[in-house]
């Protein structure tokens, strides 16, 4: 059932002991929304913990350095930025059927929760949380909550760069910045600083990138060996797909990351009107229209062919006549 | 004389034929502020032209594709984003002593104009123009004006990433985005798109980058041969030094670009408190505290040694004991 801000606020006010579930491979929006909401609930006098199957990348640690899990019996399971219970991962899958409230911005949300506060036009789940707080005066924001929500918004919008950014996104940022947050440091940390391993793997991505379909599609593949050689932990691969869209002519940029011998995680980014979510859905995945993903099995060269066959029609290119 | 928004508005309303002067090597803020203000004045029923000694880079063309210089006798010279008349260049230097109004955000503004509307805390001159329009209801904004002001703001803030970005900057962006501007396309054009040649030379910079002085200094060298091989024109080397500061530990990032057999153009960037302008001054150059440059003669390896000898003391490192 889809609910509105007022109903979501009433729900949060009338319960007391929350588990907040995040998706696997948590990104800035998941972590910022999760901890932001956790601190909001605690400020409302509730018990709340953040749960995730995977570890959090160290770059986000300023959001949870002062966080301590509370001891309580959870009576209310909620989720943020979680489009599908498939993304709960092994440690949280047990909660999949018991989510009372989901706060999300994914148009692909499967409405698995009893109540869903969904704003598909919001740039980030954190923007929905911000609007919830403001719409109903849920709580007075503070610097820590503002840092979490700001981080979530900048990571999901590429620092207000992507088309998901709206006037409302900037209004949220304008108010969050009044809470004396180190915005420029957060942005250097999120967008500029890289480890030697990351620089190395970006190098590899750029060096091995291949252009297809009249330079409208670029594919970069990274094997387990490449990741090991660079010394880059799996969770720090985030954001790499942006590198495949640098060339002006590119309409679909793709990274293929090896997960197992014959199993590849595919991330797609669209620069224009192509709906990569539709392409990824055909391949068993999903996501947003401009950023989506799927898992494809097979040998690397076959995976590439499969992807190009799925992308070509969207670009109006007939592979067999080309 | 420093004036406020009301006085600036009165001034603009009471005159009729404007020349708007921009600085040499015009950037996004100069061009966006200049054309933005020009369209505002024309909408007020005034005559207005934009003047600049240098040509405008093609990436900004959407702001002036529909612009036609008007024929009129100018009675009022104004300037935007121009801190010092030294920056007028050869074609505009004649107007230097006759600037009636300057709208700027540079703390270093020399107050050369008869009236100066100065907001040193504004992220861009365009933010001052936006605030002027709003404060006094100068004119109804439209999509073209909004695109100009938005472009100016994103280029001067690194898309809201730098520390000059404030809550007011986001408020301006929030309203500008309501005028149906192609913000994501503008941002892709300003920040993402690169030519194959640029990708290649960036690759080269990253591949050949060397780390010195406890990883606090990185140096990347690009020879004439490298530029020729990549096919990158000299003027498109802009912004390359940012690549040398990606590693978290880097305090000084340096690119060395060959200009002649034994002559190298050096660009330095500081990430923290090191004053690279002071270092470059020692080597006969200059610049800002966080971005400076100089020209050093000699063989490449000797140039590197000279630079490291100049940088080491600033980092508190004694080269001869290290």
Residue B285: predicted pLDDT? 87
pLDDT at A194 over 90: no
Task: Answer for the pair A125, A153: CB distance below 8 angstroms, yes or no.
Answer: no
Region of A42 on the Ramachandran plot (φ > 0 left; ψ -120 to 50 alpha; else beta): alpha
Cβ distance of B161 and A187 shorter than 8 Å:
yes
Q: Tokens 């309203």 appear where? A: B175
The reply to whether B135 touches chain A by the CB within 8 Å rule is: no
Ranking A157-166, A217-226, A311-320, B141-150 by mean pLDDT, the lowest is A311-320
Q: Which of A155, A173, A245 to mutate to test the interface with B (most CBs of B within 10 A)?
A: A173
pLDDT at B92 over 70: yes
pLDDT at A233 over 90: no
Residue A321: predicted pLDDT? 53
Residue B322: predicted pLDDT? 47
What is the pLDDT of chain B when averaged over all its residues? Answer: 93
pLDDT in tens, A234-276: 777 777 898 999 898 999 999 999 999 999 999 999 998 999 9
- DSSP letters, A147-158, are HHHHHHHHHHHT
pLDDT in tens, A23-69: 999 999 999 999 999 999 999 999 999 999 999 999 999 999 999 99
Average pLDDT value for residue range A66-73? 96
pLDDT at B64 over 90: yes
For the four alpha carbons of B151, B155, B160 and B164, in that order, the dihedral sign comes to: negative
pLDDT at B71 over 70: yes
Backbone angles phi, psi at B20, to 5 degrees: -110, 115
Residue A148 CA to residue A60 CA, distance in Å, equals: 9
Task: Answer for the pair B224, B258: CB distance below 8 angstroms, yes or no.
Answer: yes
Residue A238: predicted pLDDT? 77
pLDDT in tens, A74-126: 999 999 999 999 999 999 999 999 999 999 999 989 999 999 999 999 999 99
Cβ distance of A170 and B174 shorter than 8 Å:
yes
Task: Answer for the pair A154, A123: CB distance below 8 angstroms, yes or no.
Answer: no
The reply to whether B68 touches chain A by the CB within 8 Å rule is: no
pLDDT at A307 over 70: yes
Residue B201: predicted pLDDT? 85
Average pLDDT value for residue range B254-270? 94
Residue B70 CA to residue A1 CA, distance in Å, equals: 60
How many angstroms separate the Cα of A163 from the Cα of each of A283, B167, B194? 24, 21, 19
Q: Pick the closest to residue B36 from B78, B96, B85 (CA basis).
A: B78
Categorize the per-residue pLDDT at A200 as very low, low, confident or very high, splitting at 50, 70 and 90: confident
Q: Pick the closest to residue B42 from B70, B6, B78 (CA basis).
A: B70
The reply to whether B174 touches chain A by the CB within 8 Å rule is: yes
Task: Answer for the pair B21, B99: CB distance below 8 angstroms, yes or no.
Answer: yes
pLDDT in tens, B205-243: 888 899 999 999 999 999 999 888 888 777 677 778 889
Residue A27 CA to residue A124 CA, distance in Å, equals: 11
Backbone angles phi, psi at B16, to 5 degrees: -135, -25
Residue A203: predicted pLDDT? 86
Residue A8: predicted pLDDT? 98
The DSSP bridge pattern shows strands A286-287 and A291-297 to be antiparallel
Cβ distance of A193 and B160 shorter than 8 Å:
no
Tokens of A142: 């503070």
- Residue A218, helix vs strand vs coil: strand
The reply to whether B163 touches chain A by the CB within 8 Å rule is: yes
pLDDT in tens, B151-174: 999 999 999 998 889 999 999 999
Q: Pick the closest to residue A262 from A301, A211, A231, A214 (CA basis).
A: A301
Measured between beta carbons, which residues in chain A are less than 8 angstroms from residue B161? 159, 184, 187-188, 191
B314 Cβ contact partners less than 8 Å away, ≥ 6 residues apart: B252, B274, B275, B278, B279
Considering only CA atoms, give the Rg of chain A. 20
Categorize the per-residue pLDDT at B287 as very low, low, confident or very high, splitting at 50, 70 and 90: confident
Residue A19: predicted pLDDT? 98
**Burial class of residue A164 (count of CB atoms within 10 Å of its CB; 0-12, 13-18, 19+):** buried
B11 Cβ contact partners less than 8 Å away, ≥ 6 residues apart: B3, B100, B101, B115
Backbone angles phi, psi at B104, to 5 degrees: -150, 170
Tokens of B159: 């898309």
Residue B212 CA to residue B204 CA, distance in Å, equals: 18
Measured between beta carbons, which residues in chain B are less than 8 angstroms from residue A184? 161-163, 165
Task: Answer for the pair A102, A110: CB distance below 8 angstroms, yes or no.
Answer: no
Residue A131 CA to residue A137 CA, distance in Å, equals: 10
Cβ distance of A247 and B191 shorter than 8 Å:
no
pLDDT at A322 over 60: no
How many angstroms separate the Cα of B23 from the Cα of each of A138, B52, B91? 49, 7, 11
Ranking A146-160, B112-126, B307-321 by mean pLDDT, the lowest is B307-321
Average pLDDT value for residue range B119-125? 95
How many angstroms separate the Cα of A52 from the Cα of each of A19, A23, A27, A69, B239? 10, 7, 11, 12, 39
The DSSP bridge pattern shows strands B76-80 and B252-260 to be unpaired
B99 Cβ contact partners less than 8 Å away, ≥ 6 residues apart: B21, B77, B78, B79, B85, B112, B113, B114
B166 Cβ contact partners less than 8 Å away, ≥ 6 residues apart: A177, B121, B123
Cβ distance of A173 and B170 shorter than 8 Å:
yes
Q: Which of B131, B156, B161 to mutate to test the interface with A (most CBs of A within 10 A)?
A: B161
What is the pLDDT of chain A when averaged over all its residues? Answer: 94
Residue A257 CA to residue B209 CA, distance in Å, equals: 26
The reply to whether A202 touches chain B by the CB within 8 Å rule is: yes
Residue A277: predicted pLDDT? 94
Backbone angles phi, psi at B39, to 5 degrees: -65, -35
The reply to whether B6 touches chain A by the CB within 8 Å rule is: no
For the four alpha carbons of B314, B317, B321 and B322, in that order, the dihedral sign comes to: negative
């Amino acid at each position: 059932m889809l609910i509105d801000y007022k109903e979501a606020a009433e729900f949060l006010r009338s319960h007391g002991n929350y588990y907040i579930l995040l998706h696997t491979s948590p990104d800035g929006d998941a972590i910022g929304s999760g901890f932001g909401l956790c601190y909001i609930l605690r400020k409302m006098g509730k018990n709340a913990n953040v749960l995730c199957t995977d570890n959090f990348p160290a770059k986000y640690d300023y959001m949870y350095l002062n966080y301590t899990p509370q001891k309580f019996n959870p009576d209310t399971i909620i989720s943020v930025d979680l489009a599908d219970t498939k993304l709960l991962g092994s440690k949280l899958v047990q909660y999949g059927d018991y989510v009372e409230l989901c706060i999300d911005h994914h148009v692909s949300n499967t409405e698995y929760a009893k109540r869903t506060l969904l704003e598909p036009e919001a740039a980030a789940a954190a923007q929905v949380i911000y609007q919830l707080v403001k719409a109903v005066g849920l709580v007075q924001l503070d610097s820590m909550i503002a840092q979490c929500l700001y981080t979530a918004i900048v990571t999901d919008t590429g620092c207000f760069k992507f088309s998901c950014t709206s006037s409302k996104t900037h209004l949220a940022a304008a108010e969050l910045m009044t809470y004396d947050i180190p915005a420029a440091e957060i942005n250097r940390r999120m967008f500029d600083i890289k480890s030697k391993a990351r620089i190395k793997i970006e190098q590899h991505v750029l060096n091995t990138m291949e252009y297809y379909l009249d330079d409208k599609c670029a594919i970069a593949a990274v094997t387990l060996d490449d990741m090991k050689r660079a010394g880059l932990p799996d969770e720090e691969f985030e954001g790499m797909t942006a590198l495949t869209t640098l060339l002006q002519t590119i309409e679909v940029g793709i990274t293929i990351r090896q997960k197992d011998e014959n199993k590849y995680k595919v991330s797609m980014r669209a620069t224009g009107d192509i709906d990569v979510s539709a392409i990824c859905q055909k391949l068993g995945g999903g996501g947003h229209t401009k950023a989506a993903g799927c898992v494809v099995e097979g040998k690397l060269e076959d995976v590439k062919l499969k992807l190009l066959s799925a992308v070509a029609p969207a670009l109006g290119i007939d592979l067999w006549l080309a």
